[in-house]
Amino acid sequence: MTTGSAPPPHDRNDHCARPDGGDVVATEALQMTYANLKMALEERAMACMYGDSGLGKTAMVNAALRYLAPEETVHMSDCRPRRMRDGLFDALGLQRPRPRNSRECDNLLKTTLAERSRVVVCDNADWLPADCFEWWCHLWDDRHTETAIVFVGRADCFEVLAREPARILLWQEFKRMTLAEVLRVIPAYHPIWADADAKVIKLADRRIAHGNWRVWAYLTAHAVNALEQLQRRTVDEDVLRWALDRLCPRWPV
């Protein structure tokens, strides 16, 4: 995180495998996410966080926003055209009948977004068709709304939103961790890796994880179980082999 700031609180829901004892680690990507979202919030701008699956985009966005805007953030995960208005209506917690007319519904949404500062996280944004992106721009462009919008999606999210590149203030591409970063952050990510030999962590990353956060979360969950089943205290090559066989014995390497 930035100098002098506290790390965001941990939320196990950010991790697909949710291994007990896993922690939020201040990777380079998380620090960049924090800085970019801080600027997006200050400017009430639109930002796009994109990259391959499993690189921690949603987890890092959530972690940063829990620190930056815990009471202002609302989440949208369904980007299908027929669900956009209904999804935002529900995310904003509006306790009133939903207007059947789309224009009336949009007016109500804009009125609600103008009441106070908001951050809307639009996950799976790579599914957005052009007209849905224009709809988000329509809400954001309203001079009364005080809303930052964060689009999160896979690598092709860039192509989806780059049709209107001037609309997006910040673009952040998520990439796989390098081996050097893996060796630095994985021992801090979960206690089972703290005492593991570096060559075991290298082997795990070379054999299956390849710097992918989601795979490391899955592998950690299996390794925790392996330690219990094998009655071991440290992740060694035998424990790693046990975990790998159960994670996916035919995983491409």
Question: Do 105 and 216 belong to one domain?
Answer: no
State pLDDT tens for residues 217-230. 999 999 999 999 98
Q: Cα–Cα distances in Å, from 196 out to 17, 71, 186, 223, 236? A: 20, 39, 10, 11, 7
In the predicted model, what is the mean pLDDT of residues 200-222? 94
Grade residue 11 by pLDDT with cuts at 50, 70 and 90: low
Beta-carbon contacts of residue 230 (< 8 Å; ≥ 6 apart): 238, 239, 242
Question: Do 60 and 92 belong to one domain?
Answer: yes
- Which residue, of 153, 174, 195, is where some domain finishes? 174
In the predicted model, what is the mean pLDDT of residues 211-240? 92
Residue 4 lies in a domain: no
- Which residue, of 134, 154, 174, is where some domain finishes? 174
Question: Do 38 and 54 belong to one domain?
Answer: yes
Residues 29, 151, 53, 67, CA torsion sign = positive
Instruction: Report the domain count for the chain.
Output: 2
Residue 5 lies in a domain: no
Question: Do 192 and 215 belong to one domain?
Answer: yes
- Which residue, of 114, 149, 174, is where some domain finishes? 174
Question: Do 53 and 126 belong to one domain?
Answer: yes
Nearest partner of 145 among 170, 108, 174, judged by Cα: 108
For residue 8, pLDDT over 50 is answered with no
Grade residue 250 by pLDDT with cuts at 50, 70 and 90: low
For residue 181, pLDDT over 60 is answered with yes
**Residue numbers of the domain that contains 30:** 12-174
Question: Do 132 and 226 belong to one domain?
Answer: no
In the predicted model, what is the mean pLDDT of residues 144-172? 87
State pLDDT tens for residues 43-95. 999 999 999 999 999 999 999 999 999 999 999 877 776 688 888 988 888 88
State pLDDT tens for residues 184-196. 999 999 999 999 9
CATH number for the domain harbouring residue 73? 3.40.50.300
